[in-house]
């Protein structure tokens, strides 16, 4: 067996949903789920020898560029769940990584992600040729959800807008605003009572530009069309620079 063949093409990490971490609806918050996805991706990258310690040798670091998820539901209080990850594609510019979410013995969701490396000094995209052995870890495992949809701009004439200033707890070790903070902003753009009637079915987020400590931004949200459970959100700096765009599609849930 070659060294490449010894590398784990998949990694499964198990979690437990606690009451302390639950949303108002008694489920795993979407931002926490995305944090779990990032943790599992990080653990697998480390196992493959392409984690932070390896990339920083070249002055680089992984950055999440796009994330798409589809859910039947989210884990509930006191429920055990797991995430399994594998690499779908890799080249010298980016890596495509997928996930399967399971709880109570069944699959309840899938996630697609695209990761790029940036040079931490220049903040520009890095060349990943130095970790080309990732080609040998690509899995033929199928991910059944469609890649990310095009995310249009929210319609300004019907948009709801609120402002935010990024503070210390919003910043990660790359010194920019965290992925989960953007997810929280998109979730918070919709009213609490909507989440009592509907749950996330699909969530697409694309990261366009980084934001730093102290930046002031606005969160602009509008219906994506005629569907009352489909929304577009754009997070933008005061000068109009778009930080991220989101399409959040929900589905009605039965009253308990």
Per-residue pLDDT of the chain (256 residues; tens, 9 = 90+): 345 557 899 999 999 999 999 999 999 999 999 999 999 999 999 999 888 788 888 888 888 999 999 999 999 999 999 999 999 998 888 899 999 999 999 999 999 999 988 888 888 888 877 777 888 899 999 999 999 989 999 998 888 999 999 999 999 988 899 999 999 999 999 999 999 999 999 999 999 999 999 999 999 999 998 899 999 999 999 999 999 999 999 999 975 4
User: Which residues, 6+ apart, have CB-to-CB distance to 160 below 8 Å?
Assistant: 189, 220, 221, 222
If we measure between CA atoms, which residue out of 92, 98, 171 comes closest to residue 132? 92
pTM summary value:
0.93
Q: Which two tokens stand for residue 103?
A: 């709880």
Q: What is the DSSP letter of 125?
A: B
**Can you list the positions of beta strands (E) in 143-225?**
160-165, 198-207, 216-223
Spatial distance between the Cα atoms of 220 and 93, rounded to a whole number of angstroms: 31
Taking residue 104's Cβ as centre, other Cβ atoms within 10 Å add up to 10
């Amino acid at each position: 067996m070659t060294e490449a063949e010894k590398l784990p093409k998949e990694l499964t990490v198990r979690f437990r949903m606690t009451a302390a971490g639950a949303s108002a609806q008694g489920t795993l918050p979407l931002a926490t789920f995305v944090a779990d996805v990032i943790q599992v991706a990080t653990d697998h990258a480390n196992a493959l020898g392409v984690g932070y310690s390896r990339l920083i040798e070249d002055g680089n670091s992984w950055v999440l560029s796009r994330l798409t998820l589809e859910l039947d539901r989210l884990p509930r209080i006191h429920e055990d769940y797991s995430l399994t990850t594998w690499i779908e594609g890799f080249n010298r510019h980016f890596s495509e990584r997928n996930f399967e979410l399971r709880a109570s013995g069944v699959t309840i969701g899938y996630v697609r992600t695209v990761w790029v490396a940036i040079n931490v000094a220049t903040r520009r995209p890095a060349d990943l040729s130095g970790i080309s052995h990732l080609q040998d870890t690509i899995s033929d495992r199928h991910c059944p959800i469609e890649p990310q949809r095009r995310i249009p701009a929210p319609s300004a004439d019907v948009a709801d807008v609120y402002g935010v200033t990024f503070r210390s707890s919003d910043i990660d070790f790359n010194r920019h605003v965290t992925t989960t903070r953007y997810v929280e902003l998109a979730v918070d753009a919709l009213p609490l009572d909507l989440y009592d009637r509907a749950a996330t079915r699909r969530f697409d987020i694309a990261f366009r530009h980084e934001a730093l400590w102290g930046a002031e931004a606005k969160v602009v949200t509008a219906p994506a069309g005629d569907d009352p459970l489909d929304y577009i959100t754009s997070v933008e700096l005061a000068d109009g620079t778009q930080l991220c765009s989101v399409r959040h599609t929900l589905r009605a849930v039965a009253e308990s």
